[in-house]
Amino acid sequence: METRTNDAKELLAQMRVAILSELEFCNIGETPHVCNLVSTEKGKEGVIDMVLEIVGRRGFSIEEAINEVERQYDVTRAED
């Protein structure tokens, strides 16, 4: 059981690194709300947590999940 827990923690840590890597290339023209959020440490952690949840629950890629977070914050894109 402990091995599975450690494996899950390692996988989450790897996912967080991959998400952070994607967020380093944030394009304010495409995802202005996300880019604004990740400009602070608290906002960055929040976005990472939201992306992790979307990837895990809905099976989105990291890029798709970042776009979904943007849609959630941008009322003009909420219907896309």
Q: How far apart are CA 35 and CA 27, in angstroms?
A: 7
pLDDT in tens, 13-31: 999 999 999 999 999 999 9
Whole-number pLDDT of residue 40: 96
Does residue 64 register a pLDDT over 90?
Answer: yes
Q: How far apart are CA 69 and CA 35, in angstroms?
A: 11
60: left (phi over 0), alpha (psi -120 to 50) or beta: beta
Would you say how long the chain is, in residues? 80
Q: How far apart are CA 43 and CA 40, in angstroms?
A: 5
For the chain, how big is the Rg over CA atoms in Å?
13
pTM as predicted: 0.86
